[in-house]
Amino acid sequence: MSTLTHFDEAGRAAMVDVAGKPETERLAVARGRVVMAPATLALIADGRAGKGDVLGVARLAGIMAAKKTSDLIPLCHPLMLTKVRVDLSIAGADTIEIEAQVSVTGRTGVEMEALTAVSVAALTVYDMVKAVDRGMRIEGIHLALKEGGKSGRFEAAP
Catalytic residue numbers read: 127
**How close are the terminal C-alpha atoms of the chain, in Å?**
22
Taken as a whole, the chain contains a residue count of: 158
If we measure between CA atoms, which residue out of 68, 113, 118 comes closest to residue 89?
118
Residue 146, C-beta contacts closer than 8 angstroms, at least 6 positions apart: 26, 27, 28, 29, 109, 111, 153, 154, 155
Structural contact between residues 62 and 117, judged by C-beta atoms closer than 8 angstroms: yes
Q: How far is CA 98 from the centre of its chain?
A: 9
